[in-house]
Chains A and B, each alone.
Chain A
Amino acid sequence: MACTESECVADCVRRAETLAFADPPPHSIGYMPIYVPRELIHAAGLLPAGLYGGGDRLEIIRGDAYFQSYICRIPRSTIELALSGHLDRLDGMLFPSICDVIRNLSGMWQMLFPDRYVRYIDVPQNFDPAVGGRFWRHELETLRRDMERIAGRPIDDEALRNSIAVYNENRAAIRELYAQRSRAPWRFPLSEAYLVLRAGNSVPPEEHTALIRDYIRGAENDLSRREMDQSRVVLAGMFCEQPPHGLLVTLERAGCAVVDDDLFLGMRWIQGDIPLDGDPLQNLVDAYLTASATTASRYSPEGHRAKWLLESYRRNEAEGVIFCAPSFCDPALLEQPMLVAALDRAGIPHTEFKYSEDTGQFAVIREQAGTFSDSIRLWSAS
């Protein structure tokens, strides 16, 4: 079925909203942004549903009642969704160890919804296969048993292998989208790609992979899209609470073409394909130890994060870096000075600002992004 990229985006928006604002499909397990091995959920025949906040349209009433003003937005909108019944049909919730906020949120869930399945997933910070690897395997085994219990059927190795293959495909499609965007950002603007990715939180991975491919084909064939005079930037800091769509539009209008970012890392925290042969669970364990994306939530032994950023800058032939982190996001904001120092050492231009998922005013951001882009564009020749 041929469809244009705009139809495809509209389709994505509609599907993404089915989770947050209407009924989620039956038998799904909600999970917070990163480091959740979705393959294990999928292998049990359950749908992994990514929860990345409530966006800027959700009115927060009960959520604010539980969180002080100096805590980021994502836990409040997540609680709001749950307390207003939007998550009632989830069979359980997974809280990976991203930060103290998500960690404590898992306890709040236990208290607020004593009858529902809740699990905190402790992601190891030790990368020795015999130590951290063993621990992670234990976590995954527990998760596997839990999923089996919820689904009422065993997860055999074949099913798990199949799920790994499905997600390998999905990750490959996402990688292709990123590669295309980096090549021709005007053809695949972030404000669209974001929506296409976001849909992946609430549709089965097989469908999502197809959606992404449709979108890429649609946008490639749209000859009305012309190259624009923009500055190429890498965006960092958005791995958890997601920015409002208007922010991305603002960035692009202010002259920034985003060629790489860390949005929706939860879908692509495993880099490359996970092998299909051998013990599939062990393959998942090893993927975490050796092939997972570094984020601010993880211990970064030798400054891996800075390396990732510099590498992305070079690979994508970027001209600058924008740090755009959610307000009060400790992990992102704490690591920022280290990344800034690394960029300064490398002489790479950068700028930084904060947002929250319900930011409605973009004047300041527009001015900062605009000036940043101006200063790259007006002067890059000289």
Chain B
Amino acid sequence: MTIAAGIDVGSSAVKVAMIIGDEVLALHSERIRRRELRKVINDAYSIALGMANVKESDLAYVATTGEGELVEFRRGHFYGMTTHARGAIHLLPETRAVLDIGALHARAIQMDDRSRVLNYRMTSQCASGSGQFLENVARYLGIALEEVGPLSLQGDAPETVSSICAVLAETDVINMVSRGIKPADILKGIHISMAGRYVKLLRASGNATDVAITGGLASDVGLVEALRENCADLRFHTHPDSTYAGAIGAAFWGAYRHRVLESRKAS
């Protein structure tokens, strides 16, 4: 059976997936945070190889996605939305749309049951309300990233952030802290305004009702809750491995391409 690797080079973390046939063998993610990117990629890759207990030579295809141009040992590259759709279908087969929220961008993707991308929307230009921003705020508030979601759920009087720019919004947050607003309410407020933007993106992309959330922020329960509160007509699904959707998708596309190439060779 084909063994393949998918490497999703994001702007804040590198994610690696190892697959065999229809199954995922291993997943690993390494946050970049001020480290040299090539080294992080190599580390993440070798750790994942170890976890999957496979040798490099076993791999039929190494596929990259995201900003994967850095990866010298890749065989092919797939665009982010193609891979996220594929990954989402693998993890959450009932979904027909993906909301991928990463460190700098959010993407809304509509797809069919075979993960064919039908339509999409993506944030560009201003990075406001991205994962990076949330990360900065968390650091500022002294809250570990994993605590952000649970804490936000406790907010009962959310304070909304008005600024569109992440830099200026940080200042808003600073002001809130100094006004004595609870971190839970600040976070909830941020989640609500982020959710608003993402829903806008989703609606603009199409109208599938079952939405898979992928990317780093899928593990943020506060954001997921805010999304659910924002629109009752959509069903949001997450999976413990949602963060890896891009890497998983890349691996599966890689395996697929390998088969196509092999059969071409054969004929």
Measuring CB to CB, which residues of chain A are less than 8 angstroms from any residue of chain B?
A: 254, 327, 349, 351, 353-354, 363-368, 370-371, 374-375, 378-379, 382
Q: Are A375 and B125 in contact (CB under 8 A)?
A: no
Q: What B residues does A365 contact at CB under 8 A? A: 124
CA distance A367 to B9 in the complex (A): 13
Q: Are A371 and B117 in contact (CB under 8 A)?
A: yes
Q: What A residues does B79 contact at CB under 8 A? A: 254, 366-367, 370-371, 374
Q: What A residues does B125 contact at CB under 8 A? A: 327, 354
Smallest CB–CB gap between A261 and chain B, Å? 21
Answer yes or no: B60 CB below 8 A from chain A CBs: no
Smallest CB–CB gap between A360 and chain B, Å? 13
Instruction: Enumerate 19 A-B pairs (CB-CB under 8 Å) in ascending A order.
Output: A254-B79, A327-B125, A349-B118, A351-B119, A353-B122, A363-B67, A365-B124, A367-B80, A368-B81, A370-B79, A371-B80, A371-B82, A374-B78, A375-B82, A375-B116, A375-B117, A378-B82, A378-B116, A379-B116
CA distance A182 to B124 in the complex (A): 30
Given that A353-B124, A364-B105, A364-B122 are contacting pairs, would A371 and B81 also be in contact in the complex, using a CB cutoff of 8 Å? Answer: yes
- Chain B interface residue count, CB cutoff 8 Å, equals 15
Answer yes or no: B120 CB below 8 A from chain A CBs: yes
Smallest CB–CB gap between A202 and chain B, Å? 31
Q: Are B122 and A367 in contact (CB under 8 A)?
A: yes
CA distance A374 to B125 in the complex (A): 23
CA distance A367 to B125 in the complex (A): 14
CA distance A366 to B124 in the complex (A): 12
B120 interface neighbour in A351, A363, A379, Cβ under 8 Å: A351
Q: What B residues does A375 contact at CB under 8 A? A: 82, 116-118
CA distance A370 to B81 in the complex (A): 9
CA distance A5 to B80 in the complex (A): 35
Q: What A residues does B119 contact at CB under 8 A? A: 349, 351
B124 interface neighbour in A354, A370, A371, A379, Cβ under 8 Å: A354
CA distance A363 to B124 in the complex (A): 10
Q: What B residues does A327 contact at CB under 8 A? A: 125
Chain A: CB-nearest residue to B82 = A374
Chain B: CB-nearest residue to A356 = B125
Interface string of B117-145 (1 = CB under 8 A from A): 11110101100000000000000000000
Smallest CB–CB gap between B257 and chain A, Å? 10
CA distance A327 to B124 in the complex (A): 11
Q: Are B81 and A367 in contact (CB under 8 A)?
A: yes
Which residues between 90 and 120 of chain B lie within 8 Å of chain A, taking CB atoms? 105, 116-120
Q: Are A364 and B78 in contact (CB under 8 A)?
A: no
Chain A: CB-nearest residue to B117 = A375
Q: What A residues does B116 contact at CB under 8 A? A: 375, 378-379, 382
CA distance A366 to B105 in the complex (A): 14
CA distance A269 to B125 in the complex (A): 31
Q: What A residues does B122 contact at CB under 8 A? A: 353, 364, 367-368
Chain B: CB-nearest residue to A376 = B117
CA distance A375 to B205 in the complex (A): 15
Smallest CB–CB gap between A40 and chain B, Å? 40
Chain A: CB-nearest residue to B78 = A374
Smallest CB–CB gap between B29 and chain A, Å? 20
CA distance A379 to B117 in the complex (A): 9
Chain B: CB-nearest residue to A340 = B204
Q: What B residues does A349 contact at CB under 8 A? A: 118-119
CA distance A368 to B79 in the complex (A): 8
CA distance A379 to B116 in the complex (A): 7
Smallest CB–CB gap between B114 and chain A, Å? 8
Smallest CB–CB gap between B14 and chain A, Å? 16
Q: What B residues does A379 contact at CB under 8 A? A: 116
Which residues between 59 and 104 of chain B lie within 8 Å of chain A, taking CB atoms? 67, 78-82
